[in-house]
C-alpha cells in the first residue's frame, strides 16, 4: 500500500520531512506491513525502534536544512554567492518564436502593427497569390523546371502540355502574412487615407478633408511605398504630383467649365512622380472643403491650394507612406530573424482589403452632453468592436492576475510588455460578422446617452452601392475583407429635449484621435530581478547519526577511544558501520 508521503507533491517534501511524528508514524507502518510476522515488539526500548527513530530524526534535520532558500545553501561565510550562481527568469524562460502565435506576437509588438494573421499555404488557396514562378518535375532529366523554361524543351507540344498539366509541384512551408495597422496620435488611422489638412490662405481659412479611393492598393505595394518614402526623405521637392480630373466629376462638366464650378465634393486622380518617374496613381481622391461658411470651393481654387508649397498640403500622406515603408522593413526583419528551418514567408505582405461600413442612428442625450465628444466615443467603441485592440500588460499586472512567471515569460520576449494568447483572437480574418445588438450595446456604454433609436447598418462596395443583406440584425462581411467604419458617410442625429443637433464632424475626428492615443503601445517589458539577500547558515557543520544514540549503544561520541581494540565492542563498530550507509544516503 502506497503511503501518502510517497504520493505527496515534491514541492511539499521538505516541509513534510521536518515532521518527526509523521516520519515515525510512516516508518512504523512500513515495519508493520513488511515484518509483522517476525517483529512484534514495537516499543521504544526495542533497538530496531531506536534505530528507526534516530533515522527519522536525521531526516527531519535534513528537511529543516532543505527548507532554507537556495541562496542560503550556496552562500559562503562572507555572504558572497558564487559567480553566475543563478540565471534570471528573463534569461532562461523566454524562447525563440516557434508557433504561429509566437510569430503573431512578434509582429503585433512592432510599431504601427495592430494585429497580424499568419496563414499556412497548404494548397492554392483562394485569395492568396503565390509570388514565385510555378515549378514542374521533368522526369526524363530528373530536374525541376520553371514554367517559362518548358517552352524551350526540344520535345513535342503535347508532351509540354502534359508536363504543365500533371507534373506541377507545390512548395510547402510557406506562410502568407496579413497586417492590420494601428492608429497613431498624429497620423490617425493608417489603414485609411482620410485626413484633414489645414488651409491658411488669404481668402481661404479652415480645413479640407480628403480620402484616397485606392489607398489599400498603395498599402499592398511595398515597392511603391519604399520608393516614395526614400525620395521624400532625401528631398521632398523630388516628389511631384500631377493632378488630373476624375471621371466621377464628369456630370459637372457638361459645358466644359468644370474648374469654374463651386462644389462641395471634388474627385481627382493624382499621379505621384519620384525624380520624374511615375511610381503610383492615386485614384478617386475625394476632397471636401470645410472653409468657414462657404458652401464649397471652385476647382481652380482647390488646385491652387493643393499645389502651393510643393504639395505641402499632402504632408500627412507622405508621412504615412514613410511610416508604412518603415513598418514593412521591420516586418521583414523580424520574420527573417526568427523563421524556422525549411520555412519562409511570401514576399507580398498584404494589408487586409476593406469594405465600407456605415451606421445611422438617432440618439437622445443629456442636456449638458458634448455631442462632438459623444460622437467620437461612439466611433471609437464601434471601431474597437469591429477590430479590438490586443492589450499589452506589464509583468506586475499579469502577476496580479494570478499568472505564474513561467506563463508570463512563455514564448518570445517582446519590447512592449506581454500578451495573453487567449486575448489574441483566432488566427483568421476571413469570417467577419457585425451584429446590430452588439453595436447598440457599444453605443449604450457612452457617457451622457439616454436612448438610442432607429439604428441602421449597411455595407457598401467600391462604387458606393449598398450590399444587400437579408438579415437586418446581422451583417455578413464579404469573405477575406475587413469592415471599416466610414465616419464621413455615417450619420448621427443627437436630440436634447427633442431638439435635433448635428455634431461638427471635424471636431469629432480630432477628439477621436485623442481617444486613439490610449491604444498606442508603450514599452513596458521590465521584469523585476528577484531580491536574494542570502544568509550564511554554516550547513557544512555535520554530526554523525551515531551520536544521536543512547550511551548504552557505545557508538559515536559514546564510544571511548580506548575500546577500539577490545573484541567485545566489535558489534558496536559493526552497528556504526551499518549506520554509515544511511548517513551517506541522507
Residue range 198-250, pLDDT digits in tens: 777 777 777 888 888 888 888 888 889 999 999 999 998 898 889 888 888 76
How far CA 384 is from CA of 107, 183, 307, in Å, comes to: 19, 12, 37
Share of the chain above pLDDT 70, in %: 91
The candidate with the shortest Cα–Cα distance to 245, out of 166, 172, 190, 302, is 302
Query: Which pLDDT band, with edges at 50, 70 and 90, does 104 fall under?
Result: very high
| Mode of pairing for the β-strands spanning 205-211 and 262-263 | unpaired
Structure-block grid coordinates of residue 507: 471636431
Residue 480, Ramachandran bin (φ over 0: left; ψ between -120 and 50: alpha; else beta): left
Q: Inform me whether the pLDDT recorded for 517 exceeds 90.
A: no
Q: All 3 cell numbers of residue 471?
A: 438579415
**What's the DSSP call for residue 29?**
H
189-204, pLDDT tens digit by residue? 777 777 777 777 777 7
Q: Give the pLDDT score at 351.
A: 77
Q: Which three cell numbers stand for residue 391?
A: 492589450
Q: Cell 518603415, residue?
A: 326
pLDDT at 274: 92
432, burial (CB in 10 Å: exposed 0-12, middle 13-18, buried 19+): buried
pLDDT, mean of residues 357-379 = 91
- State the Cα–Cα distance between residues 456 and 439, nearest whole angstrom: 10
Count the helix, strand and coil residues of the chain and give each as a percent rounded to the nearest 5. 40, 20, 40
pLDDT tens for 402-444 read 999 899 998 899 998 899 988 888 877 667 788 889 999 999 9
Confidence (pLDDT) at 125: 62
* Residue 554 or residue 379, greater confidence: 379
Distances from the Cα of 275 to the Cα of 207, 242, 499, angstroms: 29, 13, 56
In the prediction, which pLDDT does 6 show? 44
pLDDT, tens digit (0-9, with 9 covering 90-100), for 75-100: 888 888 888 788 888 888 899 999 99
CA distance 116 to 106: 9
What is the C-alpha to C-alpha distance for residues 134 and 325, in angstroms, rounded to an integer?
Answer: 29
Quick one: pLDDT at residue 13?
60
**Four-CA torsion 288, 292, 293, 294, nearest 10 degrees:** -50
C-alpha cell at 25: 508514524
Sign, Cα dihedral of 246, 247, 248, 254: positive
Q: Report the pLDDT value the prediction gives residue 468, as an integer from 0 to 100.
A: 77
Residue whose cell numbers read 469573405: 479
Position 7 scores a pLDDT of 43
Q: Give residue 40's pLDDT.
A: 85
User: In Å, what is the CA distance from 471 to each residue of 51, 202, 225, 457?
Assistant: 83, 52, 40, 11
What Rg do the C-alpha atoms of the chain give, in angstroms?
A: 38
Q: How far apart are CA 347 and CA 152, in angstroms?
A: 28
Strand, helix or coil for residue 317: helix
Mean pLDDT value of segment 532-537: 87
11 pLDDT higher than 60: no
- pLDDT value of position 331: 92
Q: How far apart are the first and last CA of the chain?
A: 24
Q: pLDDT by residue (tens digit) across 179-190?
A: 888 877 677 777
What pLDDT, on the 0 to 100 scale, is given for residue 3?
Answer: 43
pLDDT band at residue 2 under the 50/70/90 scheme: very low
For residue 456, which of 476, 475, 481 has the smallest C-alpha distance? 475
pLDDT mean over 31-51: 87
The winner for highest mean pLDDT among 137-151, 464-478, 483-497 is 483-497
- Pairing between β-strand 354-365 and β-strand 491-496 as defined by DSSP bridges: parallel
Pair type for strands 350-351 and 174-181: parallel
The percentage of residues in the chain with a pLDDT greater than 90, rounded to a whole number, is: 17
Q: CA 305 to CA 314: how far, in whole Å?
A: 11
Query: Between 509 and 313, where is the model more confident?
Result: 509
pLDDT, the chain, mean: 83
Q: Which tens digits make up the pLDDT trace of 253-281?
A: 666 778 888 888 889 999 999 999 999 99
Amino acid at each position: 500500500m502506497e503511503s501518502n508521503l510517497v504520493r505527496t507533491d515534491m514541492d511539499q517534501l521538505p516541509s513534510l520531512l521536518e515532521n518527526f511524528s509523521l516520519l515515525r508514524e510512516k516508518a512504523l507502518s512500513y515495519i508493520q506491513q513488511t515484518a509483522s510476522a517476525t517483529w512484534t515488539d514495537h516499543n521504544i526500548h526495542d533497538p530496531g525502534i531506536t534505530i528507526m527513530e534516530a533515522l527519522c530524526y536525521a531526516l527531519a534535520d535534513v528537511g529543516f536544512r532543505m527548507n532554507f532558500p537556495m541562496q542560503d545553501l550556496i552562500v559562503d561565510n562572507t555572504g558572497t554567492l558564487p559567480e553566475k550562481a543563478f540565471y534570471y527568469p528573463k534569461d532562461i524562460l523566454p524562447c525563440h518564436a516557434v508557433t504561429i502565435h509566437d510569430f503573431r506576437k512578434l509582429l503585433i509588438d512592432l510599431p504601427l502593427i495592430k494585429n497580424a494573421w499568419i496563414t499556412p499555404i497548404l494548397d492554392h488557396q483562394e485569395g492568396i497569390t503565390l509570388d514565385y514562378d510555378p515549378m514542374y518535375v521533368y522526369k526524363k532529366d530528373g530536374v525541376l523546371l520553371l514554367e517559362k523554361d518548358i517552352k524551350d524543351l526540344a520535345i513535342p507540344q503535347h508532351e509540354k502540355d502534359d508536363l504543365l498539366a500533371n507534373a506541377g509541384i507545390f512548395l510547402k512551408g510557406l506562410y502568407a502574412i496579413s497586417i492590420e495597422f494601428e492608429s497613431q496620435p498624429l497620423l490617425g488611422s493608417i489603414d485609411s487615407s482620410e485626413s484633414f489638412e489645414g488651409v491658411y490662405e488669404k481668402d481661404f481659412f479652415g480645413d479640407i478633408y480628403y480620402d484616397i479611393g485606392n489607398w489599400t492598393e498603395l498599402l499592398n505595394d511595398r515597392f511603391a511605398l519604399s520608393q516614395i518614402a526614400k525620395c521624400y526623405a532625401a528631398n521632398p521637392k523630388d516628389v511631384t504630383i500631377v493632378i488630373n480630373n476624375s471621371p466621377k466629376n464628369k456630370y459637372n462638366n457638361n459645358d466644359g467649365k468644370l474648374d469654374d464650378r463651386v462644389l462641395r465634393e471634388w474627385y481627382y486622380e493624382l499621379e505621384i512622380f519620384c525624380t520624374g518617374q511615375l511610381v503610383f496613381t492615386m485614384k478617386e481622391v475625394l476632397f471636401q472643403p470645410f472653409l468657414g461658411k462657404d458652401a464649397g470651393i471652385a476647382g481652380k481654387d482647390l488646385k491652387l491650394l493643393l499645389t502651393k508649397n510643393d504639395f505641402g498640403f499632402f504632408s500627412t500622406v507622405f508621412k504615412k507612406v514613410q511610416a508604412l515603408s518603415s513598418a514593412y522593413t521591420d516586418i521583414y526583419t523580424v520574420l527573417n530573424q526568427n523563421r524556422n528551418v525549411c520555412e519562409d514567408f511570401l514576399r507580398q505582405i498584404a494589408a487586409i482589403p476593406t469594405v465600407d461600413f456605415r451606421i445611422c442612428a438617432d440618439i437622445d442625450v443629456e442636456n449638458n452632453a458634448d455631442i462632438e465628444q459623444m460622437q467620437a466615443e461612439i466611433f471609437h467603441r464601434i471601431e474597437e468592436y469591429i477590430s479590438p485592440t490586443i492589450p499589452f500588460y506589464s509583468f506586475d499586472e499579469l502577476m496580479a492576475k494570478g499568472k505564474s512567471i513561467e506563463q508570463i515569460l512563455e514564448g518570445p520576449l517582446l519590447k512592449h510588455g506581454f500578451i495573453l494568447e487567449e486575448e489574441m483572437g483566432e488566427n483568421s480574418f476571413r469570417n467577419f460578422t457585425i451584429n446590430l445588438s452588439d453595436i447598440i450595446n457599444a453605443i449604450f456604454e457612452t457617457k451622457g446617452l439616454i436612448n438610442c433609436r432607429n439604428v441602421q447598418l449597411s455595407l457598401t462596395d467600391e462604387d458606393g452601392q449598398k450590399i444587400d443583406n437579408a438579415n437586418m440584425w446581422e451583417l455578413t462581411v464579404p469573405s477575406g475583407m475587413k469592415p471599416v467604419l466610414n465616419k464621413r458617410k455615417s450619420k448621427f442625429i443627437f436630440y436634447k429635449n427633442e431638439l435635433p443637433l448635428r455634431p461638427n464632424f471635424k471636431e469629432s475626428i480630432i477628439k477621436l484621435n485623442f481617444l486613439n492615443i490610449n491604444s498606442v503601445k508603450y514599452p513596458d517589458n521590465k521584469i523585476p530581478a528577484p531580491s536574494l539577500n542570502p544568509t550564511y547558515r554554516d550547513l557544512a557543520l555535520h554530526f554523525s547519526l551515531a551520536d544521536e544514540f543512547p550511551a548504552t549503544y557505545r557508538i559515536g561520541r559514546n564510544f571511548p577511544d580506548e575500546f577500539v581494540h577490545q573484541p567485545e565492542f566489535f558489534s558496536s563498530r559493526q552497528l556504526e558501520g551499518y549506520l554509515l550507509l544511511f548517513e551517506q544516503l541522507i
